[in-house]
Structure formats: C-alpha cells, structure tokens
Structure 1
Amino acid sequence: MLTLVQRYIGFVDALNYRIGRIVMYGIFVMMGILLWSSISKTFFLPSLWTLEVAQFAMVAYYMLGGPYSIQMGSNVRMDLLYGECSDHRKAQIDAITILFLIVYLIFLLWGGWESFQYSISYGGERSSSVWRPYLWPIKAIMLVGIFLMLLQAISEFFKDILRIQGHDMGAKV
C-alpha cells in the first residue's frame, strides 16, 4: 500500500510540476496580448478580441498554475500559531485542513462539469460581448485545472499522513 501511495505522489507531483513550469510562462502570453491591445488601440483599429483573450489566458494561468502553487507551498496561510508548531503537529493540522480543500474541490469540479455540459449542450454557449467567443474551451481548461488541483490536494494529504506516521517526506516548504 505504501508503494502505491508513493507512486501516486510521485506521478501527481511530477505531472503538476511540469505543467506548472510550462504554464508559468503564460504571463508573457498575457503581456503580449495586452501589448498588442495597446498598440492596436493607439495606432490602428482597436481589436475586439484582446480583452477577452487576455481574460481567458489569465484564467488558464491561474487554474493550471494552482496545483503547482499548492505543491510548492506558495499558497497563503495564516502563520499566527502554525509557524510555532513542530513538523509533526503541522502535518496533523495540514491533514485535517486539506480535507476541507478536497471537499471544496469536489463540489467545484461537480459544478464546473455541470457548467461545461450546459455550455456544450445548447449549441455552444457564447460570451455576451461583441466578439462572442465560445465559452466551452475555457470551461474545459477550468475543469482540467480543478481536477489537477484535486489530485494535488490528495497527494498533499497522503504526504501529511506519511509525515504523521514518521516517514521522511522532506520538510513542507
């Protein structure tokens, strides 16, 4: 059982690490889109698509980078009392609190799936803007991001349980 859990942790961590390292360059994509928006508004006819594409790029950046952020310990946490705890006590606290995140992500995934199905089933839900892009692609990216976050949260839960049992998983960042 321990080997199976360790393989799961290794697979999910490697997957989210690679995706996170690729997605972090999405900031340059957003900068390029917004730069083009500024140039086109100043010197040419304004592009209708730039604002929404920048928003879609930001959603992809945020949702696909979330699992990497969880893995690296970059998420915001309240260290008022937590910072003074031992590693064992931190693992216990994290194991309990990560369960709340897992439940939240399950509900978020369920709602995202319902929204994605709605978007597909009615001939393709479209934005109400002038450009009117289809919304299902960004909803699909959001679903993938939520699913990857759920996998990473489960991986973090397993790491905390292994830390509680005394296995050396390395100090949590």
Structure 2
Amino acid sequence: MITYKKATLQDIAAMQALVKPEVDKGIILHRSSDEMATNIRSYMLAFEDEVLAGFGALHFHAPTLAEVRSLIVSDTLRGKGVGSHIVKALLAEAKTYGVKQVFTLTYQKAFFERLDFREIPKEDLPAHKIWADCIKCKYFPVCEEIALIYSL
C-alpha cells in the first residue's frame, strides 16, 4: 500500500539514499542535507509499507510561479502512478498558495506532458533559476533538460 505525507527532518537520510543513484548519474541535482532541512516543508513523500518510495518538492520562485523539482520514484514503483500522485499533490499545494504557473526542468518530457504540462523555451525561465541551480549541474551550460510549465 502506498501512502503519502509531507517530509520531516527525520526523513532526510532516507531521501538522500533514494536519490543518490540519480544524483550520481547527473539526472537530479545534489541537495545537501542542510539544504534539504532548510526546505523540508517543500517535500511530498511516498511510502510503500513504511519504506520511502519516492518524493518531490515544490519550490517557490515568485508570488505566482513555482517549480516541481527533485522528483524521484524507486525503480520498483516506476510506472505505477506514484510520481503522478506526488506531482498532483504538489500542484494542489501550489494552488492553495495562489501560484498561477508551475514549471519543471526534466529529462522526462512525456511524463509531465501526460499531466498537462507543456513545453516552453528554457529562456522563459526566471534567470535566478539558472544561476541558483543550473550552474551547479555538471552539464551546465550544455543542458539537455526540457522546460515545461503547467497553468493552474
């Protein structure tokens, strides 16, 4: 059975362990334990029988703009709706804050398009996103990620 909840500080070690393979491959940016702790309220977690199975974060960039980032689902549960459920929960949360648009940078274009995100040019993203996060990526400035946006 899959259950969903907001993250706590005690979840950080399990979150770091789950995301490590994707960080090592350069698919997801590394977030230090301190950075995760600072932003702990942004994370939505999925558990299968009390074992962390996935998570994602909602990061705010402006009063009407947020980002879905750090989305990860364990290999054993990919394709079973866990990621979709996490994203939908984050979109619902964004709506409660009055956010009008939510973007993502991803290699999983089709996944986000199934959730009604549409592709946009990366140049349309806020400049501070590029300098705050993308510059930390080992692929910067030659990035293959795709920018997509969802309108609430």
Tell me the TM-score normalized by structure 2.
0.25
Q: Which has the higher helix share?
A: 1
Q: Which has the higher strand share?
A: 2
- Structure with larger Rg: 1
Tell me the TM-score normalized by structure 1.
0.23
